[in-house]
Amino acid sequence: MFLAIDAGNSNVVFALFDEKTQKWTNQFRLETKTDRLISQLSKKVPLYFLEHDIHPKDILQIGFSSVVPEIQDTIQEFCQNFFGKEAYLISPKSYKKLPIVARKPNEIGTDLMCNVMAAWNNYQQPLIIVDFGTALTFTVVDEKGKVLGVNIVPGLQTAIKALFMNTSKLPEVSLEFPKSAIGQDTIHAIQAGILHGYTGLVKGMLETIRNEKPLPFKIIATGGLSAILTTLRDEFEEIDRYLTLDGIRLITQINQA
């Protein structure tokens, strides 16, 4: 099996890909918080493998994407000790063998390049990839596989947490799409403002990008929160929650072939 590790600002995702069935079979996540990560790795990962009857030796290859440099050594050391294998850390050097190109490879997150690699491998046409994570990103790719650029705004949970932490009376609320855009109480008001507001943000950003670059873009959504904004489903030709993981697998296998 192939193990993909996607370390983001909120969570570290572990996902297993069965080479025989060509499917992602298992997935779990840990909190990225550095003060808790070591204990979570040592307790939760072995327990998960035991409960799902998966032996560490079943893992033949490990690909690792991280946008959190301070935890990279910890995860790589854990992989070496638990799996007996080195995790391949995706970096700008990894892109040299790929059919995609980044204008400034040192300034684009490896998670976004994994998205581009997986989407380009599937479609080979101009792309706009909308990733709903801790940050909401729009990655634009031309017809030759060149990354034209990226837009970054705070993600949905980040926006809600910012309201909660920077105001004295507003509570932290759940990400549930309200029926009305007109809030009837405090919780409804925040949900309406954030979720309906982000619907308009995404539509407006896509329209602006297409006006600036009139290419036949295929628009793909990914990320853990991509399914929440139900009003945007018609904007996306595909919602692929495995996109980053597929990219980690492809980039790792190309570089370790």
Structure tokens that stand for 38 in this block: 């070591």
Residue with the two structure tokens 């854990």: 78
Assign 119 a pLDDT band (cuts: 50, 70, 90): very high
| Gap between the Cα atoms of 255 and 114, Å rounded | 13
- pLDDT at res. 224: 73
Residues 240-250, mean pLDDT to the nearest whole number: 96
Query: Is there a contact between 117 and 250 (Cβ–Cβ < 8 Å)?
Result: yes
For residue 226, CA distances in Å to 23, 53, 199, 230 come to 20, 31, 11, 9
Residues 45-56 have pLDDT tens digits of: 999 999 999 999
Residues near 99 by beta carbon (within 8 Å), at least 6 away in sequence: 120, 121, 145
Assign 161 a pLDDT band (cuts: 50, 70, 90): confident
- pLDDT at res. 151: 96
| Gap between the Cα atoms of 63 and 202, Å rounded | 31
Give the catalytic positions in this structure: 111
Alpha helices in the chain (DSSP H): 34-51, 72-82, 110-123, 156-166, 186-191, 197-212, 243-255
Angle at 96 between CA 90 and CA 101, to 5 degrees: 95
Pairing type for strands 101-102 and 146-154 reads parallel
Q: What is the pTM of this model?
A: 0.92
- pLDDT at res. 169: 66
What angle do helix axes 110-123 and 243-255 make, rounded to 10 degrees?
90
84 φψ region: left (φ > 0), alpha (ψ -120 to 50), beta (else): left
